[in-house]
Structure 1
Amino acid sequence: SSYILIHSLSLMLFPDCYVLNDTEINKDLEKYYLSPSYAIEFCIGFPSNLVVVLGYIFCLKEWHSCHIYIFNLAVSDLVFLCTLPHLSYLYANDYPVTSPFICIINRYVLHLNLYSSILFMVWISMDRFLLIKHPMKNHHLLTPRGALIVTGLTWLAVNVEVCPLIALIVKDLQRENLSRCLDFSSLEGDFNTLGYSLGLTITGYILPLLALCVFSQKVSHLLHMQERAVQNRTSYKRPLRVVISATVMFFVLYTPYHVLRNVRIASLQQWAGYHSKTIGIIKATYILARPFAFLHSVINPVFYFLLGDKFRELLISKIREITRKPDLRREPA
């Protein structure tokens, strides 16, 4: 795979001197870079997110608003990760369609949870801000009922954003005679794919990222005000670090993916007039960026433990309780 990466970088830096076919390089990138990358992300991210989901179900007795947001974020990441084995298989075997239904569902679920993940991180940041501003939890959004309403509206909104993708996938499957399950950037449908991708980028990524930035600023401002009032230099630092870290993570991981996805779609338009070699370079760069965007599902469990309000202690206690039971059974009566 390192050989393929070196050659793809050479293709991007020295396109006129490169002797191999750029289409073959992109196929090799998909087979030897995308496929194992997705498999590794699944193997690392799935167990950690599953532990968090099961921990919340079996360990947490009293649920607060933050727990509801974190639980939904963990479920979103867990479902997102379940799409990666199928993608790994597709790229290892040149997009074969085993079932059109599975192709549609897998692509839809992947993008649905890609955008729900950042939205739930926004609500977690909002919850931290409101908790600092209203420490007595007297705000209606800090109640479990308020969190459930926000959660339901979030899933509804993301489904509305992503549902046009189904029409694109179905149309493209028909165009390919149900033989290949292609990536979003390679789809062709009855409506403007670039316009839809740009709209999804704005509503699904840019606006939530701006919201994360706003809550980072508001949390920082509140903490400075409280420190001045009580002269406490160490209070409430963790929520600020968590919110800022989440903002930086999504900016670093999501920005290259969204920029290159839109550039890739634009490069395929007739009005762009790009040379085939340029299109190949853009696709290679886009391929390199995709696994990094999906790393959010692997990194998010770190935030669950930082934000979980004694969740870590409850989980560790439950694990110790489970591991002690076999030892107690072996002890003589």
Structure 2
Amino acid sequence: MDDEHDIDPWLFNISSDDSEEHERFLKFKGVFLPCMYLTVFVFGLVGNSLVLVIYIFYQKLRSLTDVFLVNLPVADLVFVCTLPFWAYAGTYEWVFGTVMCKTLHGMYTVNFYVSMLTLTCITVDRFIVVVQATKVFNQQAKWKIWGQITCLLTWVVSLLVSLPQIIYARVERLDIHVCQYHSEAISTVVLTTQMILGFLLPLLTMIVCYSSIIKTLLHARGFQKHKSLKIIFVVVAVFLLTQTPFNLAILIRSTSREYYNMISFQYAIIVTEAIAYLRACLNPVLYAFVGLKFRKNLWKLAKDIGCFPSLGVSSQWKSSEDSSKTCSASHNAETTSMFQL
């Protein structure tokens, strides 16, 4: 999604016979972008920070899943922390200098790719946990080490594929100062990499892995089966609804230069890009908060900071855990409950 910062020159230099329409677009952009960026920033900051706090102080990294669920909020946190700068630059102009331009481009791009690659790893992890539960149970320590190595590799790969944008990022004077990279060759490489690592790879992985998971769950016994299926459909639906529109928009725009100067298409780019960024807010809900163990620790945190001093939630969670253990009486039921992170 870093491609959005490459369109700033056209956002400020749209050739249109209808100057009033152009003015309306700039006013819309000046209000919509900072509102959406800052909304994603606030909710993404709170949600992902909660995940990190709970994993650091309440929940040890006992499994491969836990390793990935720490890597994801770290990437999303750094990602959302760049948004206030882009919000200001999109509303006014770039005032932060060349060093910050390269730095923020690097932070933005690297963490975008880390986040998407980690989502792919989580999908594969869930496939292994559900479809090959016995193998995972017998080799938990080994899988955890592989998870740590995989997380490190996601950062290395993300840094490598982001180098062109970091190297070529610079501040240019157009109608106003903008931070961008602008090169036909680089733009083609960036678009191809973004489409493959940021959309097609996670999507294909979800289709393949979740199809096998659904097949396994349909043959499983236990009351959590239908809940697990619902979570799968929600995860896939959210990914498609948030990521598909923007990726289609930039793909269509890349086919013809005339789209750069179409005000109606610029509306589409801005709106779909903002929708795509919502993943940073939704990731904590989809990949951490649905877990019984995580929610139990979230309640502990709330009690420790004095939010619910008089609520006896411990017995509620004990009852839930007992029910979960009952569900895990058979191998198939265990497989089903293990999907509940």
Could you say which TM-score interval applies, normalised by the shorter chain? 0.7 to 0.9
* Identity across the alignment (%): 24
Equivalent in the alignment of 1:315: 298
Contact 2:113 2:158 (8 Å CA) reproduced: yes
CA offsets per residue over residues 280-311 of structure 1, 9 Å max, x none? 32222111211101000111111233454502
Equivalent in the alignment of 1:129: 127
CA offsets per residue over residues 150-175 of structure 1, 9 Å max, x none? 111112222222222123323xx357
Q: How does 1:137-286 map to 2 (within 5 A)?
A: 137-139=137-139, 143-170=143-170, 173=171, 179-182=177-180, 187-189=181-183, 191-225=185-219, 227=220, 232=221, 234-268=223-257, 274=258, 279-286=262-269
Q: 3-state DSSP class of the match of 2:133?
A: coil
Contact 2:120 2:201 (8 Å CA) reproduced: no
Q: 1:323 to 1:47 in 2, by over 3 A?
A: same
Q: 1:117 to 1:239 in 2, by over 3 A?
A: farther
Q: 1:19 to 1:179 in 2, by over 3 A?
A: closer
In structure 1, distance between residues paired with 2:191 and 2:20: 28
Contact 1:193 1:265 (8 Å CA) reproduced: no
AA aligned to 1:47 is V
Equivalent in the alignment of 2:58: 59
Q: 3-state DSSP class of the match of 1:180?
A: strand
- Of the structure 1 ranges 155-164 and 134-143, higher mean CA displacement relative to structure 2 is found in 134-143
In structure 2, distance between residues paired with 1:159 and 1:298: 23
TM-score, with structure 2 as normaliser: 0.76
AA aligned to 1:303 is L
In structure 2, distance between residues paired with 1:44 and 1:324: 19
Deviation of the 1:279 alpha carbon: 2.7
Contact 2:172 2:179 (8 Å CA) reproduced: no
Equivalent in the alignment of 1:106: 104
Structure 1, unpaired ranges of 5+: 1-15, 269-273, 328-333
Q: 3-state DSSP class of the match of 1:181?
A: strand
Deviation of the 1:82 alpha carbon: 0.5
Q: 1:206 to 1:288 in 2, by over 3 A?
A: same
In structure 2, distance between residues paired with 1:167 and 1:294: 24
Q: 3-state DSSP class of the match of 1:211?
A: helix
Q: 3-state DSSP class of the match of 1:188?
A: coil
CA offsets per residue over residues 17-62 of structure 1, 9 Å max, x none? x944444333223211111111122122211211111111111135
Q: 1:28 to 1:177 in 2, by over 3 A?
A: closer
Contact 1:130 1:139 (8 Å CA) reproduced: no
Structure 2, unpaired ranges of 5+: 1-15, 311-341
> How many matched pairs?
294
In structure 1, distance between residues paired with 2:29 and 2:254: 18
In structure 1, distance between residues paired with 2:124 and 2:116: 12
CA offsets per residue over residues 115-169 of structure 1, 9 Å max, x none? 3222212222222221123334235797210110111111222222222212332
AA aligned to 1:69 is F
Aligned Cα root-mean-square deviation (Å): 3.0
CA offsets per residue over residues 251-281 of structure 1, 9 Å max, x none? 111111122223334443xxxxx388x5332
